[in-house]
Chains A and B, each alone.
Chain A
Amino acid sequence: MAHFTDVEARTIIRETYAQIASSSRTVAERLYAPEELEGLPKAPVDLALGVGHPVRHARLSPGDVVLDVGCGAGIDTLLAARLVGPGGRVIGLDMTPAMVARTREHAAIAGFGWVEVKEGLMEAIPLGDNAVDVVVTNGVLNLSTRKSRALAEMLRVLRPGGRLALADLVVTEALPEDVLRSAPALAA
């Protein structure tokens, strides 16, 4: 049973993520190797909100076209950009304008001119069919009220034979109703 409508959920998530501030590397240091974080701008490292390291499993090659669904402040976008190089392309997608602006800024600071950032929904990805080689997404699918729709969109934009690398949180035992009805819990 859905506890929030699509619009309610998106509003809560946009407002929460637009206000995020962090000066701690704790999350990034738990997920990424020190040598991966080296050389990245400070802000996307401090604002790492992922739950895994899908880029590690994405088997990226120079020249690949990559979509980072729910790019947040851009740490996975930048790591992917480093791996695909200037002959490739990385597209960050986020529904929160503040995060889109942050990733654009962080890619510019890193000098990764082959990063493009789009504002949009994971349930309606603003790309054509078969547009990318790899989709990565990190801790984002659980924020969707239409997860199958979002996954179907990731499938649509991938080229045939393309790879999805997805990290997310899953619940193995039901959470209490009052937790499921909590807006902060939804956003977290």
Chain B
Amino acid sequence: MLTKKVLNVGFEAIAIEERQPVGIDELAHYPVFPEELAEFIRRAIPESRHDELVWSVTLTALKPSMPEGDTHGA
């Protein structure tokens, strides 16, 4: 979904550089993720997902050298 959004706005040469699961315990290290929130999410989400709640993705992409339809360059 993220790569599709990046592609749809006009980037090219999209490459996933890193991708790894992030669990609730790991998120709880962040000061914006207080323990009460961690507990709330632990209760709301099946235990099987606690270690893979979200994925951290790092991607790179390029702006096309000459935007589509621009014959004069940028």
Contact = CB atoms under 8 A, between A and B. Distances in A.
Main secondary structure of the interface of A (DSSP, over half): mixed
A159 B63 contact: yes
Contacts, number: 133
A167 B32 contact: no
Interface residues of B, number: 44
A109 interface: no
B63 A171 contact: no
A167 B58 contact: yes
Contact of A52 (B45, B58, B62): B58
A165 B32 CA distance: 23
Interface string A99-141: 0000000000000000000000000000001100000000001
Give the top 6 A-B pairs by smallest Cβ distance, nearest first: A52-B58, A167-B58, A158-B63, A22-B31, A160-B74, A188-B33
Interface of B: 1-2, 5-6, 8-11, 17-18, 22, 26-27, 29-34, 36-37, 40-41, 44-45, 49, 52-67, 73-74
Interface of A: 16-17, 20-22, 24, 26-27, 30, 47, 49, 51-54, 57-58, 129-130, 141, 147-148, 151-152, 155, 158-173, 175-176, 178-179, 182, 184-185, 187-188
